[in-house]
């Protein structure tokens, strides 16, 4: 049941409390009732420790390094990593973003071998790493959106702006609309509006007027709703989530030590995937966070009890 709930959430369904909670989880939920003293003790211990940003720092380093590699390869003409994040070659092997390539196939109705091979290679890579790993660990817009979110949260705290939630099903709608547009008109409008491609090409080949569109998106996120492109609009993120549902790599939640204080959901870009950390929601004593998770590690960094950790499943555990 959890798999189908997680899959439905990718496409915009709201999380809900499961009706099939294991007996072990039920016993643990019952034992946690009235444990306020223990919760406060653990939170005091957490407050006394300096918060770490281990996974965030690692992720930023990888993201900057990958995008810098595109730039340096072009500047020094070493042909190591050529192109941009939507279509590239690594040591001569073709790579292509799956959703962008899908739109090109729909628009042109031809199937270039290099494009298909490139899409397949990317599917295998990010399918193995799982979830929306691409978004958090490679996408340059994600990094800018994180910085914009930090500014937005300060403005919200000062009550200069208000946070507005949109329906996550909008992302599914845009996924379908861009695909229909490509199939019916031959126009790949998404490739023009995609801030990931715009930023990637700007880093490699130099800035263009298209950066005005990226600035508009960031301003909208600061003034109206944080992470709006990543949460509510980006069809690339939806595609990677759907591709990475069976990955052996992911964040695992352990119910036993969780104090349900909600810090993980406060920092999460896609907090619906952490709905299971709400008191009484977990289906089992150990659960894998769903495929819409970006694997950013922010929840792992802030969890006061280590109840969220990166884990690798063995093949017999599937």
**SS3 letters across the chain:** CHHHHHHHHHCCCCCCCCCCCCHHHHHHHHHHCCCHHHHHHHHHHHHHCCCCCHHHHHHHHHHHHHHHHHHHHHHCCCCCEEECCCEEEECCEEEECHHHHHHHHHHHCCCCHHHHHHHHHHHHHHHHHCCCHHHHHCCHHHHHHHHHHHHHHHHHHCCCCCCCCCCCHHHHHHHHHHHHHHHHHCCCHHHHHCHHHHHHHHHHHCCCCCHHHHHHHHHHHHHCCCCHHHHHHCHHHHHHHHHCCCCCEEEEEECCCCCCCCHHHHHCCCHHHHHHHCCCCCCCCEEECCCCCCCCCHHHHHCCCCCEEEEECCHHHC
Q: Which two tokens stand for residue 180?
A: 């229909």
Q: pLDDT above 70 covers what percent of the chain?
A: 92
Q: Does residue 36 surpass a pLDDT of 70?
A: no
Query: By mean pLDDT, which of 4-8, 40-44, 76-80, 98-102 is the weakest?
Result: 40-44
Q: What is the mean pLDDT of residues 101-120?
A: 94
Mean of all residue pLDDT scores within the chain:
89
Q: How confident is the model at residue 64 (pLDDT cuts 50, 70, 90)?
A: very high
Q: How confident is the model at residue 41 (pLDDT cuts 50, 70, 90)?
A: low
The pLDDT tens digits of the residues spanning 238-251 come to 999 999 888 899 99
Q: pLDDT above 90 covers what percent of the chain?
A: 69
Question: 225 and 164 in contact (C-beta within 8 Å)?
Answer: yes
pLDDT at 246: 82
Q: What is the mean pLDDT of residues 167-178?
A: 95
Q: How confident is the model at residue 45 (pLDDT cuts 50, 70, 90)?
A: low
Q: What is the mean pLDDT of residues 296-310?
A: 93
Which residue matches tokens 């609309």? 177
Q: What is the mean pLDDT of residues 169-197?
A: 96
Q: How confident is the model at residue 5 (pLDDT cuts 50, 70, 90)?
A: confident
Q: What is the mean pLDDT of residues 255-272?
A: 90
Q: How confident is the model at residue 47 (pLDDT cuts 50, 70, 90)?
A: low
Q: Which two tokens stand for residue 176?
A: 């379908």
Q: Does residue 318 surpass a pLDDT of 70?
A: no
Query: By mean pLDDT, which of 39-48, 90-99, 160-169 is the weakest?
Result: 39-48
Q: Does residue 208 surpass a pLDDT of 70?
A: yes
Q: Does residue 52 surpass a pLDDT of 80?
A: no
Q: Does residue 316 surpass a pLDDT of 60?
A: no
pLDDT at 43: 59
């Amino acid at each position: 049941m959890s798999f189908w709930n997680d899959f439905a959430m990718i496409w915009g369904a709201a999380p809900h409390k499961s009706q099939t909670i294991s007996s072990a989880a039920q016993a643990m939920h019952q034992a946690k009732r009235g444990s306020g003293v223990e919760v406060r003790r653990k939170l005091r211990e957490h407050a006394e420790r300096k918060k770490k940003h281990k996974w965030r720092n690692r992720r930023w380093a990888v993201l900057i390094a990958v995008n810098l590699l595109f730039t340096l390869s072009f500047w020094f003409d070493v042909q190591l990593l050529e192109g941009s994040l939507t279509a590239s070659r690594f040591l001569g092997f073709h790579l292509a973003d799956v959703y962008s390539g899908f739109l090109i196939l729909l628009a042109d109705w031809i199937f270039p071998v290099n494009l298909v091979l490139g899409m397949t290679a990317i599917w295998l890579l990010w399918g193995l790493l799982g979830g929306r790993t691409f978004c958090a660990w490679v996408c340059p817009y994600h990094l800018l959106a994180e910085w914009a979110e930090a500014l937005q949260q300060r403005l919200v705290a000062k009550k200069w702006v208000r946070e507005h939630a949109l329906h996550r099903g909008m992302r599914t709608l845009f996924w379908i609309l861009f695909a229909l547009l490509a199939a019916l008109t031959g126009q790949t409008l998404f490739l023009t509006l995609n801030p990931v491609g715009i930023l990637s090409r700007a880093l490699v080949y130099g800035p263009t007027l298209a950066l005005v569109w990226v600035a508009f998106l960031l301003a909208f996120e600061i003034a109206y709703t944080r992470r709006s492109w990543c949460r509510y609009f980006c069809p690339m993120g939806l595609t990677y989530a759907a591709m990475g549902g069976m990955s052996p790599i992911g964040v695992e939640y352990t119910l036993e030590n969780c104090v349900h204080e909600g810090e993980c959901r406060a920092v999460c870009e896609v907090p619906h995937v952490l709905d299971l950390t709400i008191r009484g929601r977990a289906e089992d004593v150990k659960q894998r966070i769903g495929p819409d998770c970006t694997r950013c590690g922010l929840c792992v960094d802030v969890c006061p009890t280590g109840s969220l950790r990166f884990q690798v499943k063995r093949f017999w555990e599937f």
